[in-house]
A and B are shown apart, each in its own frame.
Chain A
């Protein structure tokens, strides 16, 4: 969809920001440009919407040369999200979201519909539409920043370190949200970052840049298992290379069968089922096994006196992972959010399994002591695992 050929940018004074870059990006791909500061990643990205004009080389969008397009029309068809968010302080959230539609002269009804439809995508209430950006927290503002880049059905979205200024937990939430939106809406995203964890988590392919040159452009797994050179190895960091080993496993390998209940059953049924199966959490599903929520011992005791139906007592806000997710990601999620367990669902949100803390301990035990015969210095390995886990918790 996007083809970059021999792209170079030389700034005044002869500094080569981007040097002979060649890339091809497919439709619906999530690509991360990563590198140290001054590596040219932002310059490369900004040449795609012609905020910076290339010195030489061409960029083709669906076979069309970008240099021949009108830059204003081009930018309206490409979403743009920056680290500083850049919401207009004098416009309401509604006006901010529908800024590009306004430039494209959509009717008022269409703009309102778009704003109302979009704000639901990022779990913010409708009445936020009439607030001003300063009344929102940083994380909420950046959600609106993301929506603004989606409002005119842009196919490509450029993001320049969009979550860099947010606190770790908000950043994590927004990363999940962004990945989910990108997959659901089938957008092509080009994402600039200097955070390797972020790139590994989000990107389908990572483009590592250094001094204006592309050092390696490949999937996260390939980069982690086959770093192109010493620079890449250093850049990703040795602890990640080690971490990657056990995470070759996916959640499907370790998940267990969860105990489920349907929402029309009574609380007493739920307690009986828990006692019988000796578990503290039941997952609530509908007739087609779609995950609806969960109910645990704590919420049961609290709700026992006020209601008898599970649908009222259950917790609807449930974190889950899709099957096929790398185990490492779910471990990170469990640790970060301090969850007891995390359900595994398929593409249609049908419950297929459950990963608990006990599963993970089993798995860690296997990787550390399970093959002690081949690993002579099991102790030092153990320590490295420990530091790895610590960093994740941080």
Chain B
């Protein structure tokens, strides 16, 4: 084994432990997804709420900001005291970290909608709920997705650290590599799939984000050939 270079060792590790890496990859991904999903379930309604009651906005966003400033390892340690070792502690950490980008983007997304659209919607006889789901949500969806994208990329990084408290995931492989002598190849076997996961998630979600942007979506569409009679 020692006569192989790092690159060859890396491939050797993969060919021997492919299914193990894949298993950890899935665990890692699911922990991140669960955390972000929970944060979305809480954060999007909260973002909508504070866009309606602007007095609450400063308070809620400050709290989310404070959570964000705590280092991930410290937050894991604090939560571990209460929740013990294991996956649910990491999911909780991811949840707390994801709140800020999701709340903030929902809030900005809704607040940045042209007020004239809300005015004309209301003036045509939409109820507040109709204004929300016919105008505000469709128009801020791409911004909200952008928030989820940021949250998910951050979450993938945090989950890697979560391996320290026994949550599993690709972080497990990285830690194993750091403990072994000449473990560079093992570290890479954990780190490269982690980076790969983050990049793919980012690309995929920014694609969805662009698809959902009502302005960008229709700008490139071809203009009609038939012209009006008077213009």
Contact A51 B124 (CB under 8 A): no
What sequence of 0s and 1s flags, for each residue 121-145 of chain A, a beta carbon within 8 Å of any chain B beta carbon? 0011101100110110101100000
Contact A90 B138 (CB under 8 A): yes
Q: What's the least CB distance linking B93 to chain A, in Å?
A: 36
Secondary structure of the B side of the interface? helix
- 97-154 of chain B: CB within 8 A of chain A: 114, 116-117, 119-127, 130, 134-135, 138-139
Bound complex: CA A89 to CA B121 (Å): 12
Contact B124 A135 (CB under 8 A): no
**With A72-B127, A90-B139 in contact, do A135 and B218 touch (Cβ < 8 Å)?**
yes
Bound complex: CA A86 to CA B218 (Å): 17
- In the complex, whether B19 has a CB less than 8 A from a CB of chain A is no
- In the complex, whether B66 has a CB less than 8 A from a CB of chain A is no
- When C-beta atoms are compared, the residue in chain B nearest to A177 turns out to be B230
Chain A interface extent, by class: 35 or more
Contact A127 B218 (CB under 8 A): no
Contact A76 B125 (CB under 8 A): yes
- In the complex, whether B2 has a CB less than 8 A from a CB of chain A is no
Contact A173 B230 (CB under 8 A): yes
- In the complex, whether A391 has a CB less than 8 A from a CB of chain B is no
Contact B135 A88 (CB under 8 A): yes
Contact A82 B230 (CB under 8 A): no
Contact A123 B228 (CB under 8 A): yes
Number of A-B contacts (CB under 8 A): 87
Which of A77, A90, A99, A148 has the most chain B CB within a 10 Å cutoff?
A90
Contact A103 B226 (CB under 8 A): no
Query: Which B residues touch A99, using CB under 8 A?
Result: 124
Contact B215 A134 (CB under 8 A): yes
Contact A89 B215 (CB under 8 A): yes
Contact B123 A80 (CB under 8 A): yes
From B126, B214, B229, give the contact of A123 (CB < 8 A).
B229
Contact A131 B224 (CB under 8 A): yes
Query: Which B residues touch A88, using CB under 8 A?
Result: 117, 121, 134-135
- In the complex, whether A260 has a CB less than 8 A from a CB of chain B is no
Query: Which A residues touch B55, using CB under 8 A?
Result: none
Bound complex: CA A353 to CA B21 (Å): 90
Contact A135 B135 (CB under 8 A): no
Contact B228 A140 (CB under 8 A): yes
Bound complex: CA A152 to CA B190 (Å): 62
Bound complex: CA A134 to CA B219 (Å): 7
Bound complex: CA A137 to CA B138 (Å): 23
Bound complex: CA A148 to CA B117 (Å): 13
- In the complex, whether B223 has a CB less than 8 A from a CB of chain A is yes
B binding-site residues for A, Cβ under 8 Å: 114, 116-117, 119-127, 130, 134-135, 138-139, 214-215, 218-219, 221, 223-224, 226, 228-231
